[in-house]
Amino acid sequence: MDKLQQLILSGENDSVDFKQRVTQPEKIARTLVSFANTRGGVILIGVKDNGTICGVDPEEEKHTLGQAAAFYCDPPVKVKYEEIETDDGTVLKVIVPESRQKPHFAKVKDDDWRGYVRVQDTSVQTSKLVNKTLASETPQQFESLPLDRHENLVLDYLAKNPRITLRQYTKLANLSERRAYRILVKLVIHGYLRLHDKEKDAYYTLS
């Protein structure tokens, strides 16, 4: 099985995204920013949501992506391209490395720039506090360091319990809500925890 097939079979996740085509630079900018702000990722253009290859004209896609990366991302996001020929057409593989200039913001509309991080298969908008967290760290810095007692506390708790909320963790660790939230966000960004925010009261589980 080749690398493209392996990527497609693994489905969309925190480091892989499928796009049939790229037509709006402001929309793809959010995905570029979310990968750059998190741990990097790959966008496969010419692949439908269900994993079917439909193929694209890579030069057209590169034009829109170039606009998005340069003018709809601040600071601009660096991307690399790889064209993969298949029996069903050309797939453009867009490689977005983790950035050393975090946080990046995507232009939503005039004078409205927002930060995003990648959580599971979605680009999630960040808060001002998360942006500060991103700005204070360098790529892989957090993962290469041993976890402190507050970080281990939430991981130990989740090894025995299915979920935890910010309020529960604040009480458990005897921390301010701001500090507790900052720790949980770091653990999500670096793959230790998953954030579930579709319900009224957001909660976290082990990845």
140-206 CATH pick, 2.30.110.10, 1.10.10.10, 3.90.400.10, 3.40.190.10: 1.10.10.10
Beta-strand ranges (E) seen in the chain are 16-19, 41-45, 73-74, 80-86, 89-96, 105-109, 112-119, 122-125, 193-196, 203-206
- Cα separation of 203 and 17, whole Å? 24
Report the C-alpha gap between 8 and 5 in whole angstroms. Answer: 5
Q: For tokens 């990845």, what's the residue? A: 207
**What confidence tier does 137 reach under pLDDT thresholds 50, 70, 90?**
low
CA distance linking residue 28 with residue 65, whole number of Å: 7
Superfamily of domain 3-125, CATH level 4: Schlafen, AAA domain (3.30.950.30)
Confidence band, pLDDT 50/70/90 cuts, at residue 138: low
Contact present, 81 and 37 (Cβ < 8 Å): no
What is the predicted pLDDT for the residue at 186? 80
4-18, 129-143, 148-162: segment of lowest average pLDDT? 129-143
